[in-house]
Amino acid sequence: MQSKNPKYWGVSPRADYPKYGSFATNVVDEHKNLLSDFQRDKWCVLVVGSYTPQKPIDSETKRKFFQLASNWKNETRRFSTSLHKTSNDNYIDIMLLGTEVIPIILEELKRKSDHWFLALKHLARKLNQEDPVPKEHLGDMEKMREDWLRWGERMGYKF
């Protein structure tokens, strides 16, 4: 939640943006006149207080998610490739539920490694976040899983 009159604590490298989500980015964009040209390029303003992007998930969305996930798993059980698994209509409908389902996906991923990476990448982009998986981890499900779980923790999700 954004404050109309934020109180500033200081500046921090732009690399810290993921820790504070799009809130820090918005604050910098809205108050860039407070920063010198150098600071604007290299630093961001941090706001006192905490920011957690996670909102309570309503029961209907949870029900839809688990129904779609169950259908997706049943319909793609016999496929081994990510392409077949992620092109399923149920998987696409899960992504269409929006960023609200990120903590559920992270919880599922924490419980068991599965093909949630495309959905997470799509939903992270909606939050103006980059894919946290480095190129050298692509194809290694366990490393990709760890990268996404670390991202979720950095973003303040509870799962």
Instruction: Tell me the per-residue pLDDT of 55-78, one tens digit each, with 9 for 90 and over.
Output: 778 889 999 999 999 999 999 999
140-149: pLDDT as tens digits: 999 999 999 9
- For residue 156, the tally of other CB atoms under 10 A from its CB is 15
pLDDT at 5: 37
Claim: this prediction has a pTM higher than 0.75: no
Two structure tokens written together for 19 = 């820790």
Strand-pair partners of 13:
43
What is the per-residue pLDDT for 128? 82
Say how far apart CA 41 and CA 13 lie, in whole Å: 10
> Which positions ≥6 away from 57 have C-beta within 8 Å?
100, 101, 103, 104
CA dist., res. 40 & res. 34, Å (int): 9
Token pair 């991202």 in the structure block, residue? 151
**Cβ pair 103, 110 in contact under 8 A:** no
Those residues of the chain that have pLDDT short of 50 are 1-28, 30-31, 35, 37-52
What is the Cα–Cα distance from 26 to 24, expressed in whole angstroms?
A: 5
pLDDT at 53: 53
pLDDT at 135: 93
pLDDT of residue 140: 92
pLDDT at 54: 60
